[in-house]
Amino acid sequence: MKIAIIGAGFAGLTTARHLRDFGHDVTVFEKVHDVGGVWSKTRLYPGVSTQNGKDTYCLSDFPMPKQYPEWPSGHEVQAYLNDYAEQFRLKPLIRLSTPVTHARQEADGRWTVTFQPQGQPEQSDSFDFLTICNGIFSAPAVPDFPGADEFKAAGGTICHSSEFLKLDDARGKHVVVIGYGKSSCDVAVGLVDAAASMTVVARELIWKMPKKLAGVLNYKYLFLTRMGEGLFPYIRLQGVEKFLHGAGKPVRNSMLGSVQSVITRQLKLKKLGALPRGSFERIARSTVSLVTDGFFDLVASGRIAIKRDTAIDQLIVEGKRRFALLKTGEKIPADIVICGTGWRQEVPFLDADLQARIMDDRGNFRLYRCILPTGVRNLAFNGYNSSFFSPLSAEMGALWIASYLAGALQLPPEQAQREATDHRLRWMEARTEGKHARGTNIIPFSMHQIDELLGDMNLSIGPMQRFIEWQMPVKPGRYARVAKELHRRLDRPQGAMGRPALA
């Protein structure tokens, strides 16, 4: 089958590799000049690093280099993905600097993909199947601030955090960072030494997790285990989870309360006026944000100022000086406004009528298992599930798609798929207080979603591995056998091009 893949991040690369290894003719379209997706060099702002340690943020049979630090930088992750593409000989399949401008489904179900290589006119090609891997962080969301035009005309800068790439551009400038997520705090710390002043403006403070609780316990032993997931109620409770949210709920509440107390003391949140509203349980509302190294020390020293529970009302220019006027009435100097305000999830290259078919009436992506747009032929998504284990989730998604194309999945009827998807969307929207990224966020239930994919493929990691993962962080390397088992079952040996070189 001739397959087009849009995007060359974790999802696009692993989908290309596995579909190629199952005998498909694959072409990957990537709009920028390098692989990496969110880790492309075109998006690596100062201070960016992973939330996971390198032992949990990798693909199953391609560990990150031993010389990498525990939390790799953005540049190291991009290099890792580039090495993955080279190791598994994916580069010939990838068309870099080639954005897809339109993907149209024909009456026979095939796809006409129109693309434009850099410096060349548009071209088109026909494909049997389309896999969209452009990611849920594909389009920066920047607020429309009143006074923005005058602010920029007077020399001010407004951009998304992913677009501010040069440290020197902040030198001697008054920088205002909007947001309190990891990217906002990362860029604030990354630029603070260059900036004349650094202010973080947050509509709401969220709970943050130190990389090491009490300076000792790595957070992965709390949140990157099945027990960590089990502390939060999933859409369906099973096994030990029924106890944790039933008779054992006082034990569970005590565990979370203890963590909240330790973090509050460790980060001196009360003293700094940075204690979030609500309980620590809200940390898993939509994502879990790690503490950026040095952030609260810089707040304590006065080098970073936090303006909490407010937002920019307007940007103003007074003579040669620029300011941000906050909704509290406070006016702060602002030469550069950097927005860590999230992303839009969009597929602008699809026709409007097709977009309507893959969305619900609230604009959420209506994807069964976060992959399949039920009722639309020859189309799948991968990487549309924000996860603690994004590489592993993408890899299992790629194998699910390969199994789907081989007719080897155990799926319910289409109507049941739609009902299950709609139920999940309603539950996600309520659980995350609407912060579910148009239906693409599954945190903190990453392993639940992987289990569901494995169940559809009638594959299992086994009870012993599940037991280990209840107590210890999930290791992607233990899932390398999933691809091998699927190849054995489908009786299509892995191609020599798909094997890494032996040491």
Q: Does 382 fall in a domain?
A: yes
Q: What is the domain count for the chain?
A: 2
Tell me the residue type at 351: D
Model pLDDT, residue 286: 63
Q: Do 487 and 362 belong to one domain? A: yes
| CB atoms inside a 10 Å sphere around CB 410 | 9
Q: Do 109 and 175 belong to one domain? A: no
342, 369, 404 — which closes off a domain?
342
For residue 460, CA distances in Å to 5, 275, 486 come to 28, 42, 11
DSSP codes of every residue in 34-101: SS-GGGSGGG--TT-B-SS-TTTSSBTTBPPPTTS-SS-BHHHHHHHHHHHHHHTT-GGGEETT--EE
Task: Looking at 285-338, list the stretches that DSSP marks H as alpha helix, in order from N- to C-terminal side.
Answer: 295-300
The CATH number that applies at residue 336 is 3.50.50.60
Tell me the pLDDT of the chain averaged across its residues.
93
82-86, 98-102, 421-425, 429-433: the lowest-pLDDT one: 429-433
> In degrees to the nearest 10, what's the CA dihedral of 173, 178, 180, 183?
-70
Structure tokens at 39: 């880790």
Distance CA 442, CA 430 (A): 13
Distance CA 53, CA 64 (A): 10
Model pLDDT, residue 496: 40
Q: Do 102 and 157 belong to one domain? A: no
Burial 379-402 (b: 16+ CB within 10 A, else e): bbbbbbbbbbbbbbbbbbbbbbbb
Residues 60, 480: contact at Cβ < 8 Å? yes
Q: Does 115 fall in a domain?
A: yes
* Per-residue pLDDT tens over the stretch 314-339: 999 999 999 999 999 999 999 999 99
- At residue 490, φ and ψ (nearest 5 deg) are -85, 0
Q: Does 260 fall in a domain?
A: no
| CB atoms inside a 10 Å sphere around CB 295 | 24
Model pLDDT, residue 287: 67
Q: Do 303 and 387 belong to one domain? A: no
Q: What is the DSSP letter of 500?
A: P
Residue 356 pLDDT > 80: yes
Q: Does 255 fall in a domain?
A: no
Q: Do 125 and 71 belong to one domain? A: yes
Q: Does 247 fall in a domain?
A: no
Residues 133, 67: contact at Cβ < 8 Å? no
342, 361, 387 — which closes off a domain?
342
- At residue 501, φ and ψ (nearest 5 deg) are -65, 145
Which among 105, 106, 103 has a CA at the least distance from the CA of 116? 103
Q: Does 160 fall in a domain?
A: yes
Range of the domain at 19: 2-138+345-493
Which among 123, 126, 122 has a CA at the least distance from the CA of 4? 126
* Per-residue pLDDT tens over the stretch 70-112: 999 999 999 999 999 999 999 999 999 999 999 999 999 999 9
Distance CA 200, CA 223 (A): 27
Q: Do 190 and 311 belong to one domain? A: yes
3-state secondary structure of 435: coil
Residue 237 burial by CB count (10 A; 0-12/13-18/19+): exposed, middle or buried? middle
| Helix (H) or strand (E) segment spanning residue 157 | strand 157-160
Which among 313, 329, 274, 276 has a CA at the least distance from the CA of 296? 274
Model pLDDT, residue 259: 94
- Helix-strand-coil percent breakdown of the chain, rounded to 5? 35, 20, 45
299, 326, 342 — which closes off a domain?
342
Strand 379-381 with 157-160, pairing: unpaired
Model pLDDT, residue 47: 87
15-19, 60-64, 460-464: the lowest-pLDDT one: 460-464
Q: Does 178 fall in a domain?
A: yes
* Per-residue pLDDT tens over the stretch 123-180: 999 999 999 999 888 789 999 999 999 999 999 999 999 999 999 999 999 999 999 9
